[in-house]
């Protein structure tokens, strides 16, 4: 989780992305091309606890890793924990459908990208929880 927060602090502001359920293949290809390791994909869901705690309209964030031309999104879901999902599948699962994208101000160095991916891979399967934030 902390790596996503650090990247967000060092990132440019969010761009409104496509409505992923009705976007053409060309729009989705353009989105895929624009993403880089360290990009964040934000969405607005209906989780009241997250909205109250974060004081943000965004309720979900996924960290992007581009490896060998493939784009993956790392996120955490209730019941699943931290997961790594190919971008196409991640977008298909998004509800609501509007996404916002934040890119790092400067691209990660190859070493930074590797460290970021290694850290996220180490989190795979970690349980989803906001309880520690709510209880201190």
pTM exceeding the 0.85 threshold for the entire prediction:
no
Task: State the pLDDT at residue 1.
Answer: 41
Find out if CATH 3.40.50.150 is the number for domain 2-130.
Answer: no
- Measured between alpha carbons, how far is 43 from 102 in angstroms, rounded to an integer? 11
45: confidence class by pLDDT, cuts 50, 70, 90: low
User: What Rg value do the Cα atoms of the chain yield, rounded?
Assistant: 14
**Which pLDDT band holds residue 6 (cuts at 50, 70, 90)?**
very low
As a whole number, mean pLDDT of residues 12-41 equals: 76
What SS3 class is residue 66?
Answer: strand
């Amino acid at each position: 989780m902390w790596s996503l927060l650090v990247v967000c602090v060092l990132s440019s502001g969010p761009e409104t992305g496509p409505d992923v359920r009705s976007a053409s293949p060309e729009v989705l290809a353009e989105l895929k091309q624009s993403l880089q390791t360290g990009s964040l994909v934000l969405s607005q869901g209906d989780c009241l606890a997250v909205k109250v705690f974060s004081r943000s309209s965004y309720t979900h964030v996924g960290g992007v890793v581009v490896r060998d031309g493939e784009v993956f999104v790392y996120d955490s879901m209730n019941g699943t924990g931290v997961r790594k999902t190919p971008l196409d599948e991640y977008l298909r699962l998004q509800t609501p459908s509007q996404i916002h994208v934040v890119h790092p101000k400067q691209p990660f160095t190859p070493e930074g990208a590797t460290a970021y991916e290694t850290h996220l891979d180490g989190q795979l399967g970690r349980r989803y929880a906001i309880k520690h934030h709510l209880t201190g």
